Chains A and B, each alone.
Chain A
Amino acid sequence: MLKRDLVLVCLLALAAFLMTTPVSAEQVRGVTDTEILIGQTGPQTGPAAAWGAVARGSGLFFKGINDEGGIHGRKIKYLLRDDGYQPAKTKAIGTEFVEQIGIFGVVGCVGVGPGMSVRDYYTENKVLMVSFGCSGVTNWIQPFNRYIFPVYQLYVDEAKALTRYFYENMKLKKVAVFYQNDDYGKQGLEGVERYEKEKGLKVVATVSAEVTDRDLSSHALKLKESGAEAVVLWAMPTHGALLLAECAKIGYKPQFGTSSTLSDGPLMMSITKGLWAGMINSFPIETPDSNHPLMVKYRAWHQKYEPNERWGTFYYSGCLYAEPLAEGLRRAGRNLTPETFIKAMETIRDWKGAIGAPITFTPTDHQGCKDTRFAQVQPDGSMKILTDWVRITK
């Protein structure tokens, strides 16, 4: 008995040693003479898989950058992992990134829940988080965090600016809100209410829908009865389409306006069968067919490396979200550490890439984009830009 146990112990010990690989010590985690390691967690499977295109878009960007020779002699090694939009998995991958692979920073990481589960862990380990969360919630800037560089326009400010646009530019006096009953929708509501409060006005109607609601006829009726001339729509694409269909059915045609998350014009036109035309959109990024020299370059990369991907808003915005990271790496120079990177990022002032809105990071304020512009959806699904850049945050 004893002898057999001994053999077993020896075997186990042997197996344990065979499976191990000691990590080599290096000076700055994720930076070698020839490489910079950048991680990304994006849902490729599960309920939020559609957003996974953002993460793949960033991959395209880095491929292009590497083929141009990289940044300061270093290529970017981009590690994309699927977290299935499950926070527990996001953090597991995060610990793998930090403790085993050793990454310099992350880009993207779609979602509030997944992002929040790793925010503090990454901060403790000095992982740079660029374009983090890919959403306009305030979790990334409050409390102030030196390691996070979010770029997305804040939803609250976006909704407030849209309301102002309705009142002041379009002279529409009765504004109602239709929002989805979740954190995203409620920030839209809050934005509208903030504007009305400042001006001493009142929202004529606030109508909310559950994410699972599929019958929006009573919602449409409520909006019609309120007599609103304009409706701020803060919801997901499905609800936007359903509400427009119901309103059209009862012959109610107010001016609709919505956030940048619903800015895939061609897609919306096709699912609403043309009802989407005339929509006022907050549209802070370049249009997919833009002639911006960078966008032309990215489209060429798309044709060259990943022709099977659809050049949709999610996919190419992944490209755009990676831009600030590359710019920071360029500015930081050859001597790259988290500190030099942060210092370099904080010198960015009114910098413009294809991402559209000018980006500014200062040592006390890391909200990258503070501007948006308004566009109107044309009958062919394209966007007609109506305004110049409008400062919406502070």
Chain B
Amino acid sequence: MDIKRSYYEDIELFKSNTILVWSILFLVFLGILPWLVKAYHLLGMSIYILNLITINALVAIGLNILVGYTGQISMGHAGFFAIGAFTTVIFIVNWSFPLYIALPIAGFISSAFGFILGLPALRLKGPYLAIATLGFGMSITTIIKHMEFFGGRMGLQAPKLYLFGTPMKDIHYYYVIMIIAVLMVIGALKLIKTRVGRAFIAIRDSDIAAEAMGVNLTYYKTLSFAVSAFYTGIAGGLYALILGFINPEGFTMIMSIAFLAMVVVGGLGSIMGSIAGAALLTYLDIKLQVVQDIPAIGPALVAFSQKYMSMAGISNIAVIVYGLIMILIVLFEPLGIFGFWIRTKRYWKTWPF
């Protein structure tokens, strides 16, 4: 069943009719999801949280291309995220570009920075690269802070966009973001299966062996950074729009690390894992504190936390549980959520054996 007879079969998106049907069903589900959320508050979600999850998923995919597929590390993706956000807003506000032009421009400017950051990455590895990228992320926000052009520390207000004359709300952004996300996910899936993706994976597994096989390290390493930054830049532009206001203080080192956590928890080297990781961590980050509303257990936890930790109350517990979930996933399933998926699938297929 899994025998491939030509290269084109391997990059085919829908390998069987079952997958095709499920994919279409999934797209339909994405289409009606806002209504479900609005009518039933599925899992306590709002459309805005869906948007945020999708945006984080785009960043996680971009970062996974770099970390999971090419084996490089970046702790500065909040920098690319900020570049995307600020350039999108500036192109729309200052030079009145429409969104569908401003957003790709932001993506390309971000990927240009990715290319530049990719150059030192040629000589740096592991922890050294981590520190270099960390520095990049922090210096970007510092530069933005000091340039009045970017609004300085006061920040910029994102423009109000109109769709056929009506101001865009979360639900409109949902469809814009979702269409972009679906296209970019397909793009990433294809990229990984083709020559470029295979070169990335070869570099990850052993860069010396890859070079010996004729993979141009300079080209592919910088390309990986650029592609990763492109995804993050686009996501940053969308983030600025749904938030309505951006200032450099919002793009912290913690944010970069949170992106990395999404990739690791989701599963290194897996596009679907990135999406799952982004969804899980974004959701937990926002929703864990709802525990305090549960009768009896909630107040007990708050009291416990205030007595033994600090007056902040439930947040202490939420932070600990959040960290604990991350540790447990990485400990018991090194492949992350994607690993769970594979195991479940295998279990399902071979049931009842």
A46, chain B: closest CB distance, angstroms:
7
Prevailing SS type, chain A contact patch: helix
Once A46-B254, A183-B154 are accepted as A-B contacts, the answer to whether A309 and B311 lie under 8 Å apart by CB is: yes
Assess whether A99 is interfacial by the CB under 8 Å rule.
yes
Once A96-B44, A112-B155 are accepted as A-B contacts, the answer to whether A44 and B245 lie under 8 Å apart by CB is: no
Q: Which residues of A contact B218 (CB under 8 A)?
A: none
Q: Cβ of B312 and Cβ of A82 under 8 Å apart? A: yes
Segment of A85-93, A165-173, A192-200, A221-229 in the binding face:
A85-93
Please give the number of chain B residues whose Cβ is less than 8 angstroms from any Cβ of chain A in the complex.
47
Q: Cβ of B49 and Cβ of A95 under 8 Å apart? A: yes
Q: Mark B294-325, 1 if CB is under 8 A from A, else 0.
A: 00000000000010000111111011000000
Q: Nearest residue in A to B286 (C-beta to C-beta)?
A: A92
Q: Cβ of A88 and Cβ of B52 under 8 Å apart? A: yes
Taken together as a complex, chains A and B put the C-alpha atoms of A44 and B154 apart, in Å, by 23
5 contacts between A and B (CB under 8 A): A82-B314, A84-B315, A88-B52, A113-B247, A116-B155
Q: Cβ of B245 and Cβ of A87 under 8 Å apart? A: yes
Taken together as a complex, chains A and B put the C-alpha atoms of A81 and B244 apart, in Å, by 21
| Pick from B42, B249, B348: contact of A16, CB under 8 Å | B42
A19-B40, A100-B44 provided; 11 other pairs, C-beta below 8 A? Answer: A19-B43, A21-B40, A44-B312, A87-B250, A88-B243, A95-B48, A95-B49, A112-B247, A116-B247, A121-B244, A183-B153
Taken together as a complex, chains A and B put the C-alpha atoms of A52 and B311 apart, in Å, by 9
Once A56-B311, A88-B250, A93-B286 are accepted as A-B contacts, the answer to whether A20 and B153 lie under 8 Å apart by CB is: no
Q: Cβ of B41 and Cβ of A23 under 8 Å apart? A: yes
Chain A contacts with B in 177-195, Cβ cutoff 8 A? 181-183, 186
Prevailing SS type, chain B contact patch: helix
Q: Which residues of B contact A16 (CB under 8 A)?
A: 36, 40, 42
Q: Which residues of B contact A340 (CB under 8 A)?
A: none
Q: Residues of A with Cβ closer than 8 Å to B?
A: 1, 4-5, 16, 19-23, 44-47, 49, 52-53, 56, 80-82, 84, 86-89, 91-93, 95-96, 99-100, 112-113, 116-117, 119-121, 181-183, 186, 306, 308-309
Q: Cβ of A82 and Cβ of B289 under 8 Å apart? A: yes
Q: Nearest residue in A to B243 (C-beta to C-beta)?
A: A117
Q: Cβ of A88 and Cβ of B239 under 8 Å apart? A: yes
Q: Nearest residue in B to A212 (C-beta to C-beta)?
A: B142
A9, chain B: closest CB distance, angstroms:
8
Taken together as a complex, chains A and B put the C-alpha atoms of A19 and B18 apart, in Å, by 28
> What total count of A-B pairs have CB within 8 Å?
109
Q: Which residues of B contact A117 (CB under 8 A)?
A: 243-245
Assess whether B285 is interfacial by the CB under 8 Å rule.
yes
A239, chain B: closest CB distance, angstroms:
15
Q: Which residues of A contact B249 (CB under 8 A)?
A: 113
Assess whether B109 is interfacial by the CB under 8 Å rule.
no
| Pick from A53, A82, A116: contact of B244, CB under 8 Å | A116
Taken together as a complex, chains A and B put the C-alpha atoms of A56 and B306 apart, in Å, by 12
Once A82-B318, A116-B157 are accepted as A-B contacts, the answer to whether A95 and B254 lie under 8 Å apart by CB is: no
Q: Cβ of B41 and Cβ of A21 under 8 Å apart? A: yes
A49, A93, A116, A121, most chain B CB atoms within 10 A: A116
B27, chain A: closest CB distance, angstroms:
15
Assess whether B170 is interfacial by the CB under 8 Å rule.
yes
7 A-B pairs with least C-beta separation: A20-B40, A116-B245, A95-B46, A44-B312, A44-B315, A82-B315, A95-B48
Assess whether B335 is interfacial by the CB under 8 Å rule.
no
Assess whether B104 is interfacial by the CB under 8 Å rule.
no
| Pick from A19, A45, A112, A113: contact of B319, CB under 8 Å | A45
Assess whether B47 is interfacial by the CB under 8 Å rule.
yes
Taken together as a complex, chains A and B put the C-alpha atoms of A47 and B249 apart, in Å, by 11
Q: Mark B9-42, 1 if CB is under 8 A from A, else 0.
A: 0000000001000000000000000001011111
Q: Which residues of B contact A88 (CB under 8 A)?
A: 52, 239, 243, 250
Q: Which residues of A contact B311 (CB under 8 A)?
A: 53, 56, 306, 308-309
Q: Nearest residue in B to A22 (C-beta to C-beta)?
A: B40
Chain B contacts with A in 37-77, Cβ cutoff 8 A? 38-44, 46-49, 52
Q: Cβ of B250 and Cβ of A113 under 8 Å apart? A: yes
Q: Which residues of B contact A56 (CB under 8 A)?
A: 311, 313
Q: Which residues of B contact A96 (CB under 8 A)?
A: 44, 46, 49, 286
Taken together as a complex, chains A and B put the C-alpha atoms of A322 and B286 apart, in Å, by 25
Q: Nearest residue in B to A21 (C-beta to C-beta)?
A: B41
Q: Which residues of A contact B254 (CB under 8 A)?
A: 46
Q: Cβ of A113 and Cβ of B315 under 8 Å apart? A: no
Q: Nearest residue in B to A23 (C-beta to C-beta)?
A: B41
Q: Mark B193-219, 1 if CB is under 8 A from A, else 0.
A: 000000000000000000000000000
Assess whether B334 is interfacial by the CB under 8 Å rule.
no
